[in-house]
A and B are shown apart, each in its own frame.
Chain A
Amino acid sequence: MRCDACQNNEATVFLTQIVEGKMQKVNLCPDCSKEKGVTDPTGFALADLLLGLGTNTELEKPAVAASTAVSPDAPALKCPTCGFTQADFKKTQRMGCSECYVTFAESVVTPLRSNHKGSQHVGKVPARQFARAELDNRMQTLSDDLVKAVKEEDYEGAAQLRDAIRKLEGQLKTAV
């Protein structure tokens, strides 16, 4: 029987464990069982921890240090918003401001990929913030149009715009 971890050597350590009512069997070669710290297969089986949750994709990754591998002849980037440079990043291992993520986009990609599960955010989105920003935007447009309508003496248009603004104000109040 082959070892479940390396898929190569002959398995000599056989672990059986009941997890959530299901029987799980894991077979390991002497090398792999030693490496994973399984010394007492009868008393303490870590197989579910080691294999059940996917060791390949979830292995501990090296620290952020990898990100500092910036080629020496690359032009010195500087964040236009906060003045942070690549040298500052190398020294502090921190960003200067949120705009730095745009400025240093290239050098950020590698450490993000090696330190995380992926490079695309799939978690919470600040939906309320976005909705609020959109309402603010629409309000701005309506106000601009109203100023223009009054200037052009388009009183019918201005009245409609005032109604729209009043309605939006009500929406803004209930949104917050």
Chain B
Amino acid sequence: MKFANFISGPLAVRPAGAHHDIVISSRVRLARNVKGRPFPGWAKKADRLAVLEVIKPPVDALPEMDDAFSEYLQDLSATEKQILVERHLISREHAAKSTGSAVVMNREQTVSIMVNEEDHLRMQSIRPGFQLKAVHRAIDEIDTRLEDTLDYAFSPKLGFLTACLTNVGTGMRASAMLHLPALVLDEKVNQVIQAVNKIGLAVRGLYGEGSEAMGNLFQISNQTTLGEREEDILGRLNKVIEQIIEHEQNARATLLQKKSTTLLDQIGRAFGILMHAHSMTSKEALNLLSFLRLGTDLGFFPADRRQPLDELFTETQPAHLQRGSTQKLGAEERDALRADIIRVKLKELPGPDSSRLAAAG
């Protein structure tokens, strides 16, 4: 499949999980390596190419990859790789790779397999909404099927062996992307982050490790992979995420009841700026779009506007803006283009309807 066809394909077929107002997506990735071969970071180019030829055929042959996008990284442009990063289909580390690495993903963009990232295999399943268990089941099946052909590096004592000691054991990292605007507005999100950190889970920004929290988006994931079963790790994560959802819902209710002016002011300002600005940075766009999304969740905007709004979160990212242009866009040009795209997409959006507030108050 060509990159352009893959990227412009419809995403609506992906079944959304529960709480998709607060949980943007659920993701599980497994790290695996082939026995007796040097890990990608230490391997010579010839070793990497050799292991790639061992891994890629069975991956391409998976039933999930029937109509897949399958490409060697040296055949993708920097912009194309960055688009995949912005869609959370490959990692930033993988985007920096070239000859000797590959990526294979299904048409629905729910399964993505990186070959020769930090480990020989990094396979992930990602779906909208809160459905970590279903997402884990999907990638676990693929992992099991690959065992028919591949001999994984596995030790009965340490489990699946990975390049980094932090992934040894299950090799599993499960995460959920949460949208927590009310906890941010109510200045309670830092308490949540502290509490989550204290129980051994990680909180990160939009693009994982070291990235800034933008658009009130937070990624929660497990830190440990050894000494605990997959189901127990997922259970622990699920429990904490359920509590965070509850806290966000409570914060939203509190804002509606006690700080309705602040809330409506934030949403109204976000609406005004997004509808009329002619230059906007990526960070500003994400932060303002976050308030429109909150407004939609609270019923201030028609529910059918959620989809175009959600699309803007991705479409206003730098590489997505770049893809329509043959020349490299400068930051100023990108900011102008971003504002244009937002104005066009939100053109028909009516102003926030606060009648709901009067009824609630």
A115-B169 CB under 8 A given contacts A84-B42, A93-B164, A101-B161: no
Whether a CB of chain B sits under 8 angstroms from the CB of A108 is yes
9 extra A-B contacts, CB within 8 A, seeds A94-B163, A118-B228: A44-B247, A49-B240, A50-B195, A54-B199, A61-B200, A64-B164, A112-B158, A123-B230, A126-B147
Per-residue A-contact encoding for B220-264, CB less than 8 Å = 1, 0 else: 000111111110000010011001000100100010000000000
Chain B residues in the interface with A (C-beta under 8 A): 33, 35-39, 41-42, 118, 140, 143-144, 147-148, 150-166, 168-170, 172, 188, 190-192, 194-200, 223-230, 236, 239-240, 243, 247, 250, 254
Shortest Cβ gap from A35 to chain B (Å): 10
Distance A51 CA – B40 CA, assembled complex (angstroms)? 41
Given contacts A46-B191, A48-B243, A53-B236, is CB(A97)–CB(B196) below 8 Å?
no
Given that A115-B165, A128-B148 are known contacts, is A60 also in contact with B223, CB under 8 Å in the complex? Answer: yes
Q: Are A60 and B197 in contact (CB under 8 A)?
A: yes
Chain B CB within 8 A of A36 CB: yes
Give CA–CA (A115, B226) in the complex, Å. Answer: 9
- A121-B227, A123-B230 known; A55-B199 Cβ under 8 A: yes
Distance of A37 Cα from B190 Cα, bound (Å): 9
Name the residue of chain A whose CB is nearest to the CB of B148.
A176
Answer whether A120 and B157 are a contact pair too, CB < 8 Å, given A96-B39, A97-B42: yes
Most chain B beta carbons < 10 A, residue from A50, A53, A119, A133:
A53
B residues less than 8 Å from A69 (CB atoms): none
Q: List 16 A–B pairs whose Cβ atoms lie within 8 Å, in order of A's numbering.
A: A46-B192, A46-B195, A48-B243, A50-B195, A58-B199, A95-B163, A98-B33, A98-B39, A98-B153, A112-B158, A115-B224, A117-B228, A121-B160, A123-B169, A124-B159, A129-B154
> Chain A residues near B33 (CB, 8 Å)?
98
CB nearest neighbor in A for B155: A101
* Inter-subunit contact A129/B152 (CB<8 Å): yes
- Expressed in whole angstroms, the minimum distance between the Cβ of A6 and any Cβ of chain B is 15
Within 8 A of B (CB), among A30-70: 36-39, 43-44, 46, 48-50, 53-55, 58-61, 64, 67
Which residues of chain A are within 8 angstroms of B199 by Cβ–Cβ distance? 49-50, 53-55, 58-59
Determine if A37 and B194 form an interchain contact, defined as CB atoms under 8 angstroms apart: yes
Cβ contact within 8 Å between A99 and B165: no
Partner of A117 from the list B118, B163, B227 (CB cut-off 8 Å) is: B227
Chain B residues whose CB sits within 8 angstroms of the CB of A126 once the complex forms:
147, 152, 154
Q: Is A81 an interface residue (CB 8 A)?
A: yes
Residues on A with beta carbons closer than 8 Å to the beta carbon of B164:
64, 93-95
> A104-132: which have CB < 8 Å to B?
108, 111-112, 115-129, 132
Within 8 Å by CB of A119, from B150, B198, B227, B247, lies: B227
A71 at interface by CB-CB < 8 Å: no
In the complex, what distance in Å separates the CA atom of A39 from the CA atom of B200?
22
Q: Name B143's closest neighbour in chain A (CB-CB).
A: A124
A154 an interface residue at 8 Å Cβ cutoff? no
B31 to chain A, nearest CB (A): 12
Q: Which residues of A contact B250 (CB under 8 A)?
A: 44
Residues of A in contact with B, size category: 35 or more
A48→B223 CA distance, assembly (Å): 20
- Give the chain B neighbours of A88 by CB distance below 8 A: 42
- Min Cβ gap A176→B in Å is 5
Query: B243 to A49, Cβ gap below 8 A?
Result: yes
**B229 to A112, Cβ gap below 8 A?**
no
Chain B nearest CB, measured from A135 CB (Å): 12
- Point out the residues of chain B lying under 8 angstroms from A84, CB to CB: 38, 42
Contact A49 B195, beta carbon cutoff 8 Å? yes
Judge whether B39 and A97 touch: CB under 8 Å: yes
Chain B residues in 8 Å Cβ range of A43:
254
| CB nearest neighbor in A for B168 | A112
CB distance A122 to B227 under 8 Å?
A: yes
Contacts known (A49-B243, A99-B36, A112-B165); A123 close to B172, Cβ less than 8 A: yes
* Inter-chain contacts of B143 with A (CB < 8 A): 124
On whether the beta carbons of B169 and A116 are closer than 8 Å, the reply is yes
Q: A77 in the interface, Cβ–Cβ < 8 Å?
A: no
Asked whether A82 is an interface residue with its Cβ less than 8 Å from the other chain, the reply is yes
Q: How far is the CB of B237 from chain A (nearest CB, A)?
A: 11
CB distance from B254 to the nearest CB of A (A): 7
**A39 — which chain B residues lie within 8 A by C-beta?**
191
